[in-house]
């Protein structure tokens, strides 16, 4: 098992050509507008923070670990060399570095943060000898979440959170509350990459709104797809601003209830709430029989002859 990051020896700093660095398999997509702006700053003021790179076994080129926006910015500004820190090539260490580098950024969207949290969960599972794709409820984890899930089974967040057995450990490592981690994991599992990409392409504001994203994530497949189409304006309509608006648009309009139907519904609802004795008393009352047509009176006449045997 690789040593914890804080126990590693001090790394070396070197200058590396930007065209000798490969940036692949990143958790967070590059925002080219931000990268180009960062490149202009580095061109004028220099590079303050080194990127982090490693040399993978059997490779002659460097692999980027941390600093994708700095690398792309340098390329856009035609900066030939970047100061770099050489770090461990261990896959889990590299991923944790990327998580820690990005998790605290103020511009991080909820879905990006969810991806970093989910990756950290997978790493902790692997280090504990558990398949990241398998159910993480082992040992005390199962007991810890059993009552919470039973009490909140209707809540999609709680239902998803029970799958993961390391929320307390992740929260301690990253400084986040267990509830926040659980919500992030729910976003990551319930919003497919294709959903996120369509929202990104439309530059939809709900990408920065965790509450709206959770509302979208809680929808089932078909309903989520319809809501997504409404959010991005696929049918040529104005894109919906909120998930609630999208749901409202995708549901067929309800026919207005006519006044006579409203009165009928009110009577039926009242009768349903009455006991058998109360209904019998109503049907036998002179006021009730004076208020209904003669035909109905003939149909109800047998009820006036005496109390029903099963009336309570």
The pLDDT tens digits of the residues spanning 252-294 come to 777 787 888 888 888 888 888 989 888 888 878 888 777 777 7
Kindly give, in sequence order, each residue whose CB lies less than 8 Å from that of residue 279, ignoring residues fewer than 6 positions away: 271
Region 97-138+156-250: CATH code: 1.10.10.2830
What pLDDT shows up at residue 9?
39
The answer to whether 169 touches 124, Cβ cutoff 8 Å, is yes
What pLDDT shows up at residue 67?
93
What is the spatial distance between Cα 164 and Cα 134, in angstroms, rounded to a whole number? 9
Tokens encoding 134: 């398998």
Res. 166: pLDDT tops 80: no
What pLDDT shows up at residue 172?
58
Angle at 120 between CA 61 and CA 89, to 5 degrees: 25
Determine the average pLDDT of the residues in 117-138: 66
> Tell me, which fold does domain 13-89 have in CATH?
3.90.1530
What is the spatial distance between Cα 124 and Cα 136, in angstroms, rounded to a whole number? 11
12 band by pLDDT with thresholds 50, 70 and 90: low
Highest mean pLDDT among 9-13, 32-36, 155-159, 285-289: 32-36
pTM over 0.75: no
Res. 233: pLDDT tops 50: yes
DSSP H/E element including 120? helix 110-127
Could you tell me the residue ranges of all domains in the chain?
Answer: 13-89, 97-138+156-250, 259-304
Residue 224, phi then psi, degrees to nearest 5: -65, -40
What is the spatial distance between Cα 31 and Cα 73, in angstroms, rounded to a whole number? 10
Tokens encoding 37: 């702006």
What is the spatial distance between Cα 226 and Cα 262, in angstroms, rounded to a whole number? 31
Cβ-defined contacts of 126-132 (< 8 Å, 24+): 126/92, 127/1, 127/92, 128/166, 130/165
- Residue predicted with more confidence, 33 or 39: 39
What is the spatial distance between Cα 243 and Cα 204, in angstroms, rounded to a whole number? 11
39 band by pLDDT with thresholds 50, 70 and 90: very high
235 band by pLDDT with thresholds 50, 70 and 90: confident
The pLDDT tens digits of the residues spanning 43-85 come to 999 998 999 999 999 999 999 999 999 999 999 999 999 999 9
What is the spatial distance between Cα 127 and Cα 93, in angstroms, rounded to a whole number? 11
The pLDDT tens digits of the residues spanning 284-311 come to 888 877 777 776 767 767 766 555 454 4
Residue 86, phi then psi, degrees to nearest 5: -90, 125
What is the spatial distance between Cα 182 and Cα 163, in angstroms, rounded to a whole number? 10
What is the spatial distance between Cα 103 and Cα 99, in angstroms, rounded to a whole number? 6
The answer to whether 284 touches 311, Cβ cutoff 8 Å, is no
Residue 45, phi then psi, degrees to nearest 5: -115, -5
The pLDDT tens digits of the residues spanning 242-251 come to 999 999 988 8
Sheet of 62-66, strand order: 13-17, 81-86, 51-54, 62-66, 21-22
The answer to whether 39 touches 75, Cβ cutoff 8 Å, is yes
What pLDDT shows up at residue 167?
54
Cα-to-chain-centroid distance, residue 67: 26
């Amino acid at each position: 098992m690789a040593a914890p990051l804080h126990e590693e020896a001090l790394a070396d700093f070197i200058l590396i050509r930007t065209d000798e660095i490969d940036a692949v398999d990143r958790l967070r997509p590059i925002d080219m507008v931000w990268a180009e702006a960062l490149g202009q700053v580095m061109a004028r003021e220099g590079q303050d923070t080194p990127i982090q790179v490693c040399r993978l076994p059997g490779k002659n080129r460097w692999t980027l670990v941390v600093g994708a926006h700095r690398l792309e910015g340098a390329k856009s500004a035609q900066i030939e060399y970047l100061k770099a820190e050489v770090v461990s090539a261990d896959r889990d260490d590299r991923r944790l570095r990327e998580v820690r580098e990005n998790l605290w950024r103020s511009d991080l969207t909820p879905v990006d943060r969810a991806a970093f949290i989910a990756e950290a969960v997978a790493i902790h599972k692997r280090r504990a000898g558990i398949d990241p794709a398998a159910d993480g409820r082992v040992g005390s984890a199962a007991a810890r979440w059993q009552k919470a899930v039973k009490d909140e089974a209707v809540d999609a967040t709680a239902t998803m959170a029970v799958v993961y057995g390391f929320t307390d450990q992740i929260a301690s490592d990253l400084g986040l509350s267990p509830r926040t981690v659980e919500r992030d994991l729910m976003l990551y599992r319930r919003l497919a990459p294709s959903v996120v990409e369509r929202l990104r392409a439309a530059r939809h504001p709900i990408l920065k709104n965790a509450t709206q994203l959770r509302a979208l994530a809680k929808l089932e497949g078909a309903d989520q797809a319809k809501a997504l189409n409404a959010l991005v304006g696929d049918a040529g309509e104005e894109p919906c601003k909120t998930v609630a608006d999208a749901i409202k648009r995708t549901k067929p309009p309800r026919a207005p209830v006519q006044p006579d139907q409203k009165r009928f519904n009110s009577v039926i609802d009242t009768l349903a709430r009455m006991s058998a004795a109360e209904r019998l008393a109503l049907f036998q009352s002179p006021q009730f029989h004076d208020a209904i047509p003669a035909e109905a009176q003939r149909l109800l006449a047998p009820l006036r002859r005496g109390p029903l045997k099963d009336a309570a």
